[in-house]
Structure 1
């Protein structure tokens, strides 16, 4: 019997949507000098969110921890193959393909941020940092597109709204354990600090 359980804590949800919006905004403002300050502010915010997620991946709630979605290659292949079968494999948290996407997004996001810092602060070879910054940003965009497609496909095959789940934190599942704490206070602090940072940074630019 399906039950409504809490899967995604508030900090994980705040991270998810803040990362998505900051990357999209930074990508759209990457050309020219007119929106340079916005691009930099969003880049810093994205790096801050990734730093938080790297920590939360070890100390966060059950489904947010890296160990919950660190799968072997065989499991990833098996899951993808199961999507073509009448009974695709179902996971309460991140499925194996989604887990791969998360690790790729974190890695690419970190490379984007660090190469951006190297370029802005002129730490070394400017051409190298610029090329790395552009390549990793385009790769991340590609991963985002595949990730979104995967979410939509999984939502249809499993008959569950994964996008809504990342807003509410709740999913329908059988024989699964709900997390006991959602850490609302931490999510609120993250959202508030993000807003304050953007306001202060942009007002001082």
Structure 2
């Protein structure tokens, strides 16, 4: 077993998951809801900075294959031919980026709802709610994909995100994006 996910990545991942779920279940407009939302946006900003400076599997230069690589991986997954990756797979990278963008957009729209210029604007409240449901759908797809890949590759991916460790594979598996 080798260390793939460092402690910062794991703490951000699980804390963000808890905050998103908590905020979805919590009543809008409460102080807890606002602070949890701002904390979630701050965690995403921290993760983005860490991705820019990290040289490990958390670093973006190691896991962003571009849209052709993402599409190729999704097609291979649908055929049951997706290769195992040691770090994040291309579809997972795309989902992570989508989730992070949604969390940031929700942080901005939530902040805007507190400004005098946008107070009580129904379009902004509707946008914030739509982003929340889209985020929930993406989180659900993420969980389903993690379970599917865990089954397909006979590897407990949720445990890897808790411990940070995965079984070492072939050297090529570390860089596979197709």
Separation of aligned partners in 1, 2:16 and 2:57: 18
Please report the TM-score for the alignment, with normalisation by the length of structure 1. 0.77
Separation of aligned partners in 2, 1:86 and 1:103: 24
- Residue 82 to residue 55, structure 1, CA distance change in 2 (3 Å): same
Coordinate RMSD, CA, aligned: 1.8
Q: Contact 1:79/1:96 (CA < 8 Å) preserved in 2?
A: yes
Question: Mind listing any 5+ residue stretches in structure 2 that lack a counterpart?
Answer: 173-178
Q: Deviations over 1:67-102 (max 9, x none)?
A: 222122222222122224454311111101101101
- Residue 127 to residue 17, structure 1, CA distance change in 2 (3 Å): same
1:12 aligned residue: 9
1:21 aligned residue: 18
Separation of aligned partners in 1, 2:79 and 2:127: 39
2:60 aligned residue: 66
Separation of aligned partners in 1, 2:80 and 2:40: 39
Match of 1:117 among 104, 108, 111: 111
Please report the TM-score for the alignment, with normalisation by the length of structure 2. 0.88
1:171 aligned residue: 166
Which structure's CA Rg is the greater one?
A: 1
- Quick one: higher RCO (CA 8 Å, sep 6+), 1 or 2? 1
Q: Contact 1:9/1:61 (CA < 8 Å) preserved in 2?
A: no
Question: Mind listing any 5+ residue stretches in structure 1 that lack a counterpart?
Answer: 178-205
1:92 aligned residue: 86
2:127 aligned residue: 132
Match of 1:76 among 70, 77, 91: 70
